Amino acid sequence: MTRTTFTTTAQGLDRKSLPLRLFEKSKTLGVWNPSDLDFTLDHTNWQTLDPLEKRVLLHLTTLFQSGEEAVTLDLLPLIMTIAQEGRLEEEMYLTSFLWEEAKHVDFFQRFLTEVVVDVPDLTAFETPIYQMLFKDKLPTALNALLTDTSPIAQARASVTYNMIVEGVLAETGYHAYYAMLERCQAFPALQKGIYLLKQDESRHITYGIYLLSRLIHNNDNVWDAVEETLNELLPMALMIIDEIFQQYDVMPFGLKLEDFSSYAITQYQARYAKLMQARTTSPAELFPQ
Ligand SMILES: [Fe+2]
Ligand SMILES: [Fe+2]
């Protein structure tokens, strides 16, 4: 592959584009350092929890920790595809996207090693449908881009990664988890980290909706693939939320299934409506300054 031109010298960066606006935000909001969080009080309070509370907190943390690892490992084929298409502004944003995911892995690992300390084997918390999504569907959809960079393959990857894993599961999980931590006020560093992490995730999802809107708007055959992938994976994501709650007769910390599932559905519907609009509306109009 040869290069015919350089964006920065031929026309300059498109600073008004959504990806560069997100990059601008990442340069200030995304630079928080998990190592700056002081987990001392979290560790003290962890020791006062009863066994059930410890189990639930470990369960949720496990799903976030493995999920962050999965999205860190699986993003590169998408970045490579965007780079090969010469989309400089999008790739610039994606550099912060990947870095932020790595920091999220770092953050949860610090919680486990500095707050929990004697970390048991956590793999039993990775329930069957969770495993199906994170060990099969996600890596398969992203790694498909290594051999097929078509708009349909990109859309399937982005729906799986941004709409389902980040949009339905992660964002919903962090929303409910943060609300729970705010109520119990026992884990200030964990709470602070999740607040910061949620901000990063909302930029990731916005980029995903932008990417999907561009793919849908510019390619007639992409919408059907988007719907097909959503129809396959949305029920799976909701079943994962069920899988968690099924393991407990009574959930501690006031956690409720509805807190997770109703927020998930509301957020999902708003994004789905935006994607539908993308069939007739350009990304620039959909994401005005
Ligand atoms: Fe993340
Ligand atoms: Fe993310």
218-237 residue pLDDT tens:
999 999 999 999 999 999 99
**What's the CA-to-centroid distance between 129 and ligand 1, angstroms?**
20
C-alpha 187/C-alpha 162 separation (Å) is 28
Distance 204 CA to ligand 2 centre (A): 5
- What residues have their beta carbon closer than 5 A to ion ligand 2? 166, 201, 204
**Residue 177's pLDDT band (cuts 50, 70, 90):** confident
Query: Ligand 2 centroid to 124 CA: how many Å?
Result: 24
Helices 151-158 and 76-84 pack at an angle, to 10 degrees, of: 150
User: Three-state SS across 238-288?
Assistant: HHHHHHHHHCCCCCHHHCCHHHHHHHHHHHHHHHHHHHHHCCCCCHHHHCC
The whole model's pTM is what? Answer: 0.96
241 Cα to the center of ligand 1, angstroms: 18
Check pLDDT > 90 for residue 171. Answer: no
Between the CA of 270 and the centroid of ligand 1 the distance, in Å, is 21
Cα of 197 vs centre of ligand 1, distance in Å, is: 7
Taking a 5 Å cut-off on Cβ, the residues next to ion ligand 1 are 68, 101, 104
Ranges of each domain in the chain? 17-22+36-286
Q: What is the pLDDT of residues 24-59, one digit of tens each?
A: 999 999 999 999 999 999 999 999 999 999 999 999
Q: Output the average pLDDT for the chain.
A: 95
**Using 50, 70 and 90 to split pLDDT, how confident is the model at 78?**
very high
- CATH number (1.10.620.20, 3.90.1530.30, 1.10.1040.10, 1.20.120.80) of 17-22+36-286 reads 1.10.620.20
Burial label for 266, CB within 10 Å (0-12, 13-18, 19+), is: exposed
Distance 101 CA to ligand 1 centre (A): 4
CA 29 to ligand 1 centroid distance, Å = 14
In the predicted model, what is the mean pLDDT of residues 92-104? 98
Ligand 2 centroid to 117 CA: how many Å? Answer: 26
Per-residue pLDDT, 260 = 83
Q: What is the pLDDT of residue 263?
A: 87
**119/72 Cα distance (integer angstroms):** 22
Q: Tokens 């969770």 map to which residue?
A: 130
Convert the pLDDT of each residue in 248-268 to its tens digit.
998 888 888 888 888 889 989
Output the CA 34–ligand 1 centroid distance in Å: 13
Angle between helices 222-246 and 151-158 (to 10 degrees): 20
If you measure from the C-alpha of residue 220 to the centroid of ligand 1, how many angstroms do you get, rounded to a whole number?
31
Q: According to the model, what pLDDT value does residue 180 have?
A: 84
Which contiguous run of DSSP H or E holds residue 8? Answer: helix 7-10
Q: Which two tokens stand for residue 86?
A: 């010469």
